[in-house]
């Protein structure tokens, strides 16, 4: 039997009233995952829109990172303002689609 020693966790930040701040929830990421899961389901059912599953990918530009990782990604070409989900499929005279996700209200914030 192996003993695991757990590191003490840093306490959560407190609000002005002194209560512990709630853990952040990635509403936008959850909604994006639902779309990808739906596209995959449509692909498995043989629906034409399911073809977009293979042509759609996520660009991990956001999120909290340490300074070294952020610096490395910036050197590798990460740019602010890049859409969350590019769709590389030409249809109806258009040559792709770029989707930017924002969380559904009331969880979301104003679009800037």
Separation of alpha carbons 19 and 17, rounded Å: 6
- pLDDT of 1: 58
For the whole model, what pTM was predicted? 0.68
Q: How confident is the model at residue 109 (pLDDT cuts 50, 70, 90)?
A: low
- Is the Cβ–Cβ distance between 55 and 87 less than 8 Å? yes
In this predicted model, what pLDDT tens digit does every residue of 29-40 receive, in sequence order?
A: 888 899 999 999
Distances 57 to 50, 61, 77, 111, 112 between C-alpha atoms, Å = 13, 12, 17, 22, 23
In this predicted model, what pLDDT tens digit does every residue of 10-65 receive, in sequence order?
A: 777 777 787 877 777 778 888 889 999 999 999 999 999 999 999 999 888 777 78
- pLDDT of 110: 62
Half-sphere exposure of 60 (CA within 13 A, CB side): 8
Least confident of 63-67, 87-91, 98-102: 63-67
Q: Which residues pair with 98 in a beta bridge?
A: 86
Q: Where are the domains of the chain?
A: 27-99
- Is the Cβ–Cβ distance between 36 and 53 less than 8 Å? yes
Using alpha carbons, select from 53, 52, 73, 62 the residue that is nearest to residue 28: 62
Is pLDDT of 112 > 60? no
Task: Report the residue count for the chain.
Answer: 112
């Amino acid at each position: 039997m192996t003993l695991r020693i757990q590191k003490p966790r840093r306490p959560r930040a407190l609000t002005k009233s002194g209560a512990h701040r709630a853990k952040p929830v990635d509403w936008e990421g959850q909604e994006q995952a639902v779309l990808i899961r739906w596209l995959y389901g449509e692909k498995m059912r043989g629906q034409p829109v399911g073809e977009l599953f293979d042509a759609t990918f996520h660009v991990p530009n956001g999120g909290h990172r340490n300074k070294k990782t952020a610096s490395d990604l910036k050197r590798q070409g990460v740019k602010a303002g890049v859409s969350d989900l590019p769709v590389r499929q030409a249809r109806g005279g258009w040559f792709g689609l770029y989707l930017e996700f924002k969380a559904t209200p009331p969880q979301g914030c104003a679009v800037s």
